[in-house]
């Protein structure tokens, strides 16, 4: 399909993951002609190697844990173990259904051309794929990210694996070391523990999930100790060697840990090398494409979105960035994304969900004496007692001003972050949230109670 007599498309998008396909959908909706080039499967990392498969594994683990403790609810059951082939069948079925739906949605757009093949930027207005050059009035780079490793640490896919390998392991290891205590690391540690794996997390920084508020990190550490998930904090990796039955991981503090395998979960890096970006004149910084607040590169005809740029590596951020670029190219007014206002969730057990500033960051921005903090024991609500869920809600407020940070930990808090996101982004005052009536019994009551306390009228507290 060509959009004009000269064969020039309005937009050529390189990469069909969250950022790329959302840009394509919105651009076609706005009447632009689009070429979307993807070398793998549409949906990218999130659908095939990230968000969706990991959450499927975590839910399977949740079911296993519930069966183990079913008698505590008065329900007798027999837990016979985890059938990893069956888990993969369930996981792959979820992916297949979503993938089919996405393919159908994209193929239904009459002003969208899908190209399967590895693309390369050959000029500020052209991408080549399969020997064909696709010219656009604008090019959007959305080539995503891939698992990182450490210098000298070779990932073999067998005993030393990345998150990509871990998603498709055909066995449940007896033991594992997880290198990295960030989101990816603690999610796999949580799922594997539910499957019966003896897990040790190694994190070089002082706390697990170091990007979260420190009180939430400490709560997760307590929960992991209760679940018998081991961890080494402030301990840097120094090497790994093969043993007869697995690996021996060495730390700089002299400790050694033996396990069946090592999962390297030290983050993800941008996919930008060898794609012609530098040759075409696109500015890079440590592999990331450099963009301004409206996702424009240094070249007026090139934008970039998703994990390729140094913003939050979250699928929903990629979606938002893709939509912003599409609307800007269509001539609509757009505003920069407030990344502090984006919901962040870690889907381990217990879950972590947050939005806005941590206490430490708030004090850095506003000053020590301008920040007020409120905490509420989320495990004390009726619904949490029913679910046997512990947890906490922590609020950060500017003195006499709005709530600027909401941090939650507990079962299913990912389903409560929507209200928290509204509170932050609408700059709500504690008194305004306190006036809302939260359903009883529900876990959202904890959010309401925390705001009641911050508004100076705590209800369910001793005293």
Residues noted as catalytic: 440
Residue 183: φ, ψ to 5°: -55, -55
CA nearest neighbour of 139 among 336, 352, 305: 305
Buried b (16+ CB within 10 A) or exposed e, 304-328: bbbbbbebbbbbbbbbbbbbbbbbb
CB 220 within 8 Å of CB 229: no
Closest CA to 345 of 316, 310, 376, 322: 316
The span from the CA of 30 to the CA of 27, in Å, is: 5
Q: Is 164 exposed, middle or buried (0-12, 13-18, 19+ CB in 10 A)?
A: middle
Residue 432 phi/psi, 5-degree rounding, is -70, -40
Distance CA 36, CA 112 (A): 7
Tokens 């081991």, residue located: 230
Q: At what angle do helices 18-29 and 84-107 cross, to 10 degrees?
A: 30
**Contact between residue 359 and residue 396 where contact means Cβ atoms under 8 Å apart:** yes
Given a contact cutoff of 8 angstroms between Cβ atoms, the answer to whether 131 and 120 are in contact is no
User: Exposed e or buried b for every residue in 384-422, given b needs 16+ CB within 10 A?
Assistant: beebebbbbbbbbbbeeebbbbbbbbbbbbbebbebbbe
Task: Answer whether 226's CB lies under 8 Å from 240's CB.
Answer: no
Place of tokens 């959908």: 25
Of 142, 79, 138, 61, give the one whose Cα is nearest residue 330: 138
The CA–CA distances, whole Å, from 297 to 23, 32, 281, 376 equal 16, 21, 10, 44
């Amino acid at each position: 399909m060509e959009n004009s007599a000269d064969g020039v498309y309005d937009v050529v998008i390189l990469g069909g993951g969250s950022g790329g396909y959302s840009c394509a959908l919105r651009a076609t909706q706005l009447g632009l002609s689009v070429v979307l080039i993807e070398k793998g499967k549409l949906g990218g990392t999130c659908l095939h190697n990230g968000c969706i498969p990991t959450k499927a594994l975590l839910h399977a683990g949740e079911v296993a844990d519930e069966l183990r403790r079913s008698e505590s609810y008065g329900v007798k059951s027999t837990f016979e173990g985890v059938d990893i082939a069956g888990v993969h069948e369930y996981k792959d079925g979820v992916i297949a259904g979503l993938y089919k739906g996405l393919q159908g949605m994209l193929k239904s757009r009459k002003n969208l051309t899908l190209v399967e093949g590895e693309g390369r930027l050959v000029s500020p207005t052209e991408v080549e794929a399969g020997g064909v050059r696709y010219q656009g009035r604008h090019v959007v780079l959305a080539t995503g990210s891939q698992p990182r490793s450490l210098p000298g640490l070779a990932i073999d896919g067998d005993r030393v694996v990345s998150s990509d390998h871990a998603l498709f392991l055909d066995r449940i290891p007896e033991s594992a070391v997880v290198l990295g205590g960030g989101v990816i690391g603690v999610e796999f540690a949580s799922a594997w523990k539910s499957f019966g794996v003896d897990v040790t997390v190694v994190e070089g920084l002082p706390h697990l999930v170091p990007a979260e508020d420190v009180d939430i990190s400490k709560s997760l550490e307590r929960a992991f100790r209760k679940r018998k998930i081991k961890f080494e904090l402030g301990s840097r990796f120094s090497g790994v060697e093969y043993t007869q039955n697995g690996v021996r991981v060495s730390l700089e503090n002299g400790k050694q840990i033996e396990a069946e395998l090592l999962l390297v979960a030290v983050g993800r890096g941008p996919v930008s090398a060898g794609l012609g970006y530098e040759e075409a004149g696109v500015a890079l910084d440590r592999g990331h494409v450099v963009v301004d607040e409206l996702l424009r590169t240094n070249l007026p005809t090139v934008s970039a979105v998703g994990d390729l740029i140094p913003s939050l590596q979250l699928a929903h951020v990629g979606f938002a960035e893709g939509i912003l670029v599409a609307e800007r190219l269509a001539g609509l007014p757009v505003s920069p994304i407030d990344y502090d206002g984006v919901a962040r969730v870690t889907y381990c057990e217990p879950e972590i969900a947050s939005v806005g500033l941590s206490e430490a960051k708030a004090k850095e921005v506003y000053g020590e004496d301008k920040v007020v903090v409120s905490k509420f024991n989320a495990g004390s609500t009726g619904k949490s007692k029913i679910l046997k869920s512990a947890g906490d809600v922590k609020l950060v407020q500017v003195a006499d001003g709005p709530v600027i940070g909401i941090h939650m930990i507990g079962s299913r808090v990912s389903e409560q972050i929507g209200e928290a996101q509204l509170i932050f982004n609408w700059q709500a005052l504690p008194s305004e949230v306190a006036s809302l009536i939260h359903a009883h019994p529900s876990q959202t009551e904890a959010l309401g109670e925390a705001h009641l306390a911050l508004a100076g009228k705590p209800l369910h507290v001793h005293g």
